[in-house]
Amino acid sequence: MMKGKTIEQLSSYNLVCHLTLKGSEGFQTVLINSVHSLRRYNTNIFGPSTMHGQILTDPITQTPQIYFVFPEIYIKSPGTYNFECSVFNMNE
């Protein structure tokens, strides 16, 4: 379970979630499972049950990052959101 990560608003219908994995250099495809809620100011917004993400390496820190896009979630207010999710390596 990964908690307290951030989701930043790209547009009204396009949210991207950044997950930092340590020791995850072997990851190629990652499935995010059970996005329980997105939280901002105690407001719960429920997201998709499963999504695939893309692995990109941060050019500065060389840390693998997972990027997820949530097109069906609509949040009017920009800012940082907390969420809870489970991440699985689909290569195993």
Q: Which domain holds residue 59?
A: 2-89
Residue 64, H or E segment? strand 64-70
* Residue 57 predicted with pLDDT over 60: yes
Structural domain count, the chain: 1
Confidence class of residue 58 from pLDDT cuts 50, 70 and 90? low
Could you read off the pLDDT of 4-38 as tens digits, one per residue? 444 443 333 334 444 444 444 444 444 444 343 44
d(CA 15, CA 83): 12
Residue 47: its pLDDT value, please? 46
User: pTM (2 decimals)?
Assistant: 0.28
CATH code at position 23: 2.40.30
Residue 56: its pLDDT value, please? 61
Residue 62: its pLDDT value, please? 64
Which amino acid, residue 57?
A: T
Residue 70: its pLDDT value, please? 46
Confidence class of residue 60 from pLDDT cuts 50, 70 and 90? confident
